[in-house]
């Protein structure tokens, strides 16, 4: 049985390490009286083995190639991240590397910069980054290969840890996922150029929650809880700043119905023992 794979003979699947990024921005033309905060969401292809059809933040599992190179790394090091994420430094570095790689693969935003600290990548790098993105998706090269070829360094300081969620044991495919926040660097744009999603766009969190309540989109419990948590913030900077103050605790979520709403519960909540692993807005398990 492999990490994240389906359980066999009644065994519980071992969670595979993964990283997800709440990509943040302030809307270019915010509506009066509404928070400009927006998050980037993708609706995954329906036939995918995990979270098919779900609306999610960009992210995915840690790959063997997600091994940080100190020469291509800027910002808090893996030891620092290990303390922050409550895990070994080697795993912490791989999680940060995976977060940066997956964000670039899935929406074209590269959380990297020049060794002098500038985040502007420059138009002269565009052809190399386009080809490098294709190579990453095809697993022909690693993120470290791309950074070395372009002279860039990974900017771990552009990421903040928000939460760590573990897929419930009943799922045949499980992940131990760190949720990071990141503000889109100036001059970069998120796109929908990925085969893993049928659509991708910027959403106001409250708008996404409304669409979920009326059944237009489906959200897993961690995504739902995260959108609920960030919906009240004034802007992208305030969410990113709040992430630095959060305590990161591995959490297995469950859900329960409360009237017309589905509520996410976590260990320690009185209703946790009677909650279930998944419940759609319409009440279907």
For residue 1, the model assigns a pLDDT of: 26
pLDDT for 99 beyond 60: yes
The CATH number of 16-251 is 3.90.79.10
For residue 270, the model assigns a pLDDT of: 79
pLDDT for 260 beyond 80: no
Contact 126, 120 (CB under 8 A): no
Residues 6+ positions from 224 with CB-CB distance below 8 Å = 209, 212, 255, 262, 264
pLDDT for 179 beyond 90: yes
User: Which has more pLDDT, 95 or 197?
Assistant: 95
| pLDDT, average across residues 256-263 | 74
Per DSSP, which regions of the chain are E strands?
A: 16-26, 37-44, 55-56, 59-61, 73-74, 112-113, 153-155, 160-166, 175-183, 197-203, 250-251, 254-258, 261-265
From 1-10, 71-80, 263-272, the region with the lowest mean pLDDT: 1-10
pLDDT for 263 beyond 90: no
Residues 6+ positions from 105 with CB-CB distance below 8 Å = 60, 133, 136, 137, 194
Contact 82, 92 (CB under 8 A): yes
Residues 6+ positions from 138 with CB-CB distance below 8 Å = none
For residue 262, the model assigns a pLDDT of: 72
pLDDT category of residue 45 using cuts at 50, 70 and 90:
low
Intervals of CATH 3.90.79.10 along the chain: 16-251
For residue 210, the model assigns a pLDDT of: 94
pLDDT for 120 beyond 60: yes
pLDDT category of residue 253 using cuts at 50, 70 and 90:
confident
For residue 226, the model assigns a pLDDT of: 95
- Concatenate the DSSP letters of all residues of 101-116 into one string: HHHHHHH----EE-TT
pLDDT for 283 beyond 50: no
Distance CA 22, CA 107 (A): 12
pTM: 0.87
- The H-assigned helical ranges of the chain are 78-85, 89-107, 126-137, 143-150, 205-213, 221-230, 236-243
pLDDT for 282 beyond 50: no
- The H-assigned helical ranges of 151-281 are 205-213, 221-230, 236-243
User: Which has more pLDDT, 254 or 68?
Assistant: 68
């Amino acid at each position: 049985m492999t990490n994240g794979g389906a359980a066999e003979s009644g065994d519980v699947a071992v969670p595979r390490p993964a990283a997800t990024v709440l990509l943040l921005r302030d809307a270019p033309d915010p509506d009066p009286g509404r928070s400009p905060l927006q998050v980037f969401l993708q609706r995954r292809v329906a036939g995918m083995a995990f979270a098919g059809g779900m609306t999610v933040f960009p992210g995915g599992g840690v790959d063997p190639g997600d091994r940080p190179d100190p020469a291509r790394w800027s910002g808090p090091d893996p030891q620092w991240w290990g303390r922050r994420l409550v895990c070994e430094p080697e795993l912490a570095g791989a999680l940060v590397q995976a977060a940066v790689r997956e964000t670039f693969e899935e929406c074209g935003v590269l959380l990297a910069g020049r060794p002098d600290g500038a985040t502007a990548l420059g138009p002269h790098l565009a052809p190399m980054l386009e080809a490098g993105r294709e190579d990453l998706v095809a697993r022909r090269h690693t993120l470290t290969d791309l950074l070395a070829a372009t002279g860039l360094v990974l900017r771990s300081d552009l990421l903040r840890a928000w939460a760590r969620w573990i897929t419930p044991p009943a799922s045949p495919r499980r992940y131990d996922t760190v949720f990071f926040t990141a503000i889109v660097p100036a001059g970069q744009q998120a796109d929908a150029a990925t085969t893993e999603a049928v659509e991708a766009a910027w959403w106001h969190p409250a708008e996404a929650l409304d669409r979920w309540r009326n059944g237009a989109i489906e959200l897993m419990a961690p995504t739902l809880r995260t959108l609920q948590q960030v919906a009240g913030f004034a802007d992208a900077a305030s969410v990113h700043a709040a992430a630095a103050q959060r305590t990161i605790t591995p959490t297995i979520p469950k859900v329960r119905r409360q009237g017309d709403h589905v509520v996410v519960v976590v260990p320690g909540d009185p209703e946790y023992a009677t909650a279930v692993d998944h419940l759609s807005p319409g009440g279907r398990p």
